[in-house]
A and B are shown apart, each in its own frame.
Chain A
């Protein structure tokens, strides 16, 4: 008998109320209620998932990786609960559990996959006792909140020490910072990565060696940001070989990619519908997790190949005969990769960028100066440019310096008006690329909902 039953009813009522009232999507409010009245709610109820709990954290790719794992789990015949809405702070995690409980407090699912904010990881591990922990990557992001990128890594490392000894950890071998988290934690670590010189680059960002701290890593191959095949020229510290990897990669722009997936036991070809190198990394993280969780590779393959996008992650939206591509961009690494999806496509396009500077977004927008707008503008004829959000003027200035004629830049601070303006500037059969950051995304999407172009977020599976 679940001791929290009355509270669960209360929280479920709160969930319906907040949805009826249209206050957000009720994605963290019910969790807040229940944790107020039953502070140990997660601790008591996480064990009710018989197959266990997986936590996914990291800077970029948390949502997609979480969805990929959950879909494979579901396809293998095990009901799987996950935080669809992306609410990844502690109250959001509690809400996910409530959503998946019947009125008697029994969980309807056997497994639980949660994307978790980096700073919430130590608490989430303590309260949910996961059997799997996944780190996608660690890039500079929200440094006004975390201080430095090494502090972000430190919080995740702390969470590993709180895990029980049979927990498995899945890490990105190509990211020196997150790979280094696997050292001396006394847990089983599975590494994933790329073995794909065909899509590598000669230059990119580097970090100081995690071991000797004396030299910048050299790269035999750069994939993006800090990710690649790295080594230290001083102390010989180098990238570890991944157990799960992708090779012979073919990128097909917006249409996705195709690659050979190698696991310790099998080799198989995967055709992903979602685009970009970053989604191959997400698929690898999901595969490594699913294999360790006992899901057959055949099921994982079917699930990955059927996988369509999470809302706002390069989501294709049809507006009569116009096409709108909505792509969340939270930081330099993410924005550069979102632009890179279009690198072999030089058809004309309309552009709308929406940048807010709330606490959830990061209050400092300096990172926009590290985004390669120059390369994008060189390759594309821009038919119109609209910038919006609290930082619309900063964006306008950034684009002016990147080479956009400043007379063609429309500044409209209101995201809803801006998206409507962009759609109206778009002619028949033309394309509009929309890049909002986190809180701007919700405004853009709600404007698109209002016009009936997309469905509300919480109705999407």
Chain B
């Protein structure tokens, strides 16, 4: 199977280790025996949505928000929406989730209209959420724990009937009040988690790759990979999150 991955604007969307998720997807494709190609889309270049099996949108610095919105409105916003509407996989994390939403508000003022890929509003607030996150995911139907770290003062409000990634057990998640974290729309996933969270949450890698396999109508079974180290890091991270919340 050939898998083509799009890494959107890596020169900007490279905050806090988030590009590690690209290595994780790429390596796992290799370990599954797929032919994998990662194509980087730099600023100012157009992407053709039908070409990609998986689109990755990395973590952005706060000062990149309005610049990214302008860039996407000029070039690739419509292409990203088309890709998601036609059932392509997309993963957005950290500071790229806000500009993929509909409306961004600073204080009481609307500062920018996001590109509207995720049906949600975003407010920049004084209150910053920093710390461990542990959620029970509602994406795969298997209720895995998803563990990671958040550091954001964008508060996300999902529109009615929009699915989140899961229920918060530790941490603030979207806005510290709704009790949920992230957003799922069609096959697009957005999460506030930082860094290379795919490495630890390896069930999510398997889920994404299996969905790609299904879409390509490959009937071969998904290979069993050695997950010893992954399982250990996953278990440790969950323990650390639980231990630190107790100390608070």
Q: Which A positions have Cβ atoms within 8 angstroms of B? A: 140, 143-144, 147-150, 205-206, 208, 213-214, 216, 357, 363-370, 390-394, 396-398, 400-401, 406, 409, 411
| Cβ of B128 under 8 Å from chain A | yes
Among B60-68, B156-164, B172-180, the stretch that binds chain A is: B60-68
- Partner among B24, B151, B235 whose Cβ is within 8 Å of the Cβ of A364: B151
Residue contact B236 to A393, C-beta cutoff 8 Å: yes
Q: With an 8 A cutoff between CB atoms, is B34 at the interface?
A: no
Residue of A nearest to B94 (CB): A366
Rounded to whole angstroms, the CA-CA distance of A398 and B21 in the bound complex is: 11
Closest 5 CB pairs of A and B: A366-B195, A369-B20, A369-B17, A366-B17, A393-B233
Closest CB-CB distance, B155 to chain A, in whole Å? 15
Q: In the complex, what's the smallest C-beta–C-beta distance from B196 to chain A, in angstroms?
A: 4
Q: Are A208 and B229 in contact (CB under 8 A)?
A: no
The complex places the Cα of A359 from the Cα of B12 at a distance, in Å, of: 28
Complex contacts, A367 vs chain B, CB 8 Å? 16-17, 195
Write out the residue numbers on chain A whose beta carbons fall within 8 Å of the beta carbon of B82: none
Does the CB pair A393–B229 fall under 8 Å?
Answer: yes
| Cβ contact of B199, chosen from A148, A149, A390, A397, cutoff 8 A | A397
User: A144 to chain B: which residues have CB within 8 Å?
Assistant: 130-131, 149, 151
Give chain A residues whose Cβ lies under 8 Å from the Cβ of B130: 144, 147
Q: With CB as the reference atom, state the residue of chain A lying closest to B235.
A: A393
> Known interface pairs A144-B130, A398-B199. Does A150 touch B16 (Cβ–Cβ under 8 Å)?
no
| Known A214-B67, A391-B236; 11 more pairs at CB < 8 Å | A140-B16, A148-B62, A208-B61, A216-B11, A363-B149, A365-B195, A370-B19, A370-B20, A397-B199, A398-B199, A401-B199
Measured between beta carbons, the chain B residues less than 8 angstroms from A390 are 236, 240
Which of chain A's residues has its CB closest to B244's CB? A363
CA distance A391 to B233 in the complex (A): 8
Task: State whether B11 touches A143 (Cβ < 8 A).
Answer: no
Chain B residues with CB under 8 Å of A398's CB are: 20, 196, 199
> Once the chains are docked, how many angstroms separate the CA of A150 from the CA of B15?
14
Nearest residue, chain A, Cβ from B234 = A393
Q: Is residue B132 contacting chain A, with contact meaning CB distance below 8 A?
A: yes
Docked Cα-Cα span, A392 to B237, in Å, equals 11
Judge whether B17 and A368 touch: CB under 8 Å: yes
A232 to B244, alpha carbons, bound, how many Å?
A: 43
CB distance from B44 to the nearest CB of A (A): 11
Q: Which residues of B contact A205 (CB under 8 A)?
A: 14
Interface residues of B (CB under 8 A from A): 11-12, 14-20, 23-24, 27, 43, 61-64, 67, 128, 130-132, 149, 151, 153, 194-196, 199-200, 226, 228-230, 232-233, 235-237, 240, 244
CB proximity of B112 to chain A, nearest CB, Å = 14
Chain B residues in 8 Å Cβ range of A357? 240
Residues A208 and B16 in contact, CB atoms below 8 Å apart: no
Residues in chain B near residue A411, CB distance under 8 A: 232
A147/B128 contact (C-beta < 8 A), A208-B67, A366-B16 known: yes
How many Å lie between the Cα of A357 and that of B247 in the bound state?
Answer: 14
Which of A208, A393, A406 lies in contact with B64, CB distance below 8 A? A208
Whole-angstrom distance between the Cβ of A404 and the nearest chain B Cβ: 10
A222 to chain B, nearest CB (A): 13
Cross-interface CB contact of A363 among B131, B199, B230, cutoff 8 Å: B131
A393, B232: Cβ atoms closer than 8 Å: yes
In contact, A409 and B67 (Cβ under 8 angstroms): no
B43 contact set on A, CB distance < 8 A: 216
**In the complex, what residue of chain A is closest to B132 when comparing beta carbons?**
A363
Residue pair B17, A143 in contact (C-beta under 8 Å): no
Supposing A208-B63, A366-B17 touch, asked if A401 and B24 sit within 8 A by C-beta, the answer is yes
- Asked if A396 and B229 make an inter-chain contact with CB atoms under 8 angstroms apart, the answer reads yes
When the two chains form their complex, are residues B19 and A364 in contact, meaning their CB atoms are under 8 A apart? no
User: Inside 8 A of A366's CB, which chain B residues have their CB?
Assistant: 16-18, 20, 149, 194-196
Chain A residues contacting B195 (CB-CB under 8 Å) are 364-367, 369
Rounded to whole Å, the gap between the CB of A375 and the closest CB of chain B is 13
Q: Which A residues touch B236, using CB under 8 A?
A: 390-394
Pair A397/B151 contact, Cβ less than 8 Å: no
16 A-B pairs, CB-CB below 8 angstroms? Answer: A140-B16, A144-B149, A150-B62, A364-B194, A365-B195, A366-B17, A366-B149, A369-B20, A369-B196, A370-B17, A370-B20, A393-B232, A393-B237, A396-B232, A397-B200, A397-B229
Contact B20 A143 (CB under 8 A): no
Closest beta carbon of chain A to B47's beta carbon, Å? 19
Rounded to whole Å, the gap between the CB of A255 and the closest CB of chain B is 32
A147 touches B151 (CB 8 A): yes
Of B23, B24, B62, B228, the contact of A406 (CB 8 Å cutoff): B228
Q: Which residues of A contact B15 (CB under 8 A)?
A: 140
| CB-based contact B23/A401 at 8 Å | yes
- B233: which of A147, A364, A369, A397 is its contact (CB, 8 Å)? A397
* C-alpha gap A392/B232 in the complex (Å): 10
Q: How far is the CA of A309 from the CA of B69 in the complex (A)?
A: 47
CB-CB under 8 A for A394 and B233, given A401-B24, A401-B27: yes
A401 to B205, CA, bound (A): 14
A206:B233 contact, CB within 8 angstroms:
no
Q: Give the docked Cα–Cα distance between A401 and B230 (Å).
A: 11
User: In the complex, A21 Cα to B61 Cα: how many Å?
Assistant: 46
Least distance between A290 CB and chain B CB atoms (Å) = 35
Q: Is the CB of A409 within 8 A of B229?
A: yes
Which residues in B have their C-beta under 8 angstroms from that of A392? 236
A420 to B131 alpha-carbon distance, docked (Å): 33
Q: Which chain B residue has the least Cβ–Cβ distance from A205?
A: B14
Chain B contacts of A406 at CB under 8 A?
226, 228-229
Taking CB atoms, residues of chain A closer than 8 Å to B67 are: 208, 213-214
Q: Smallest distance from the beta carbon of B27 to chain A beta carbons, Å?
A: 6
B196 surroundings in chain A (CB, below 8 A): 366, 369, 398
Give the docked Cα–Cα distance between A397 and B228 (Å): 10
Please give, as numbers and ranges, the residues of chain B lying within 8 Å of A394 by CB-CB distance: 199-200, 233, 236-237
A149–B95 Cα distance when bound, in Å, is 14
Chain B residues closer than 8 Å to A206, beta-carbon distance = 11
Separation of A391 and B200 alpha carbons in the complex (Å) = 12
Docked pose: A393 CA to B14 CA in angstroms: 23
- Closest B residue by C-beta to A406: B229
A397: chain B residues at CB < 8 Å are 199-200, 229-230, 233
How far apart sit A366 and B150, CA to CA, in the bound complex (Å)? 11
A214-B67, A406-B229 are contacts. A364–B149 as well, Cβ < 8 Å? yes
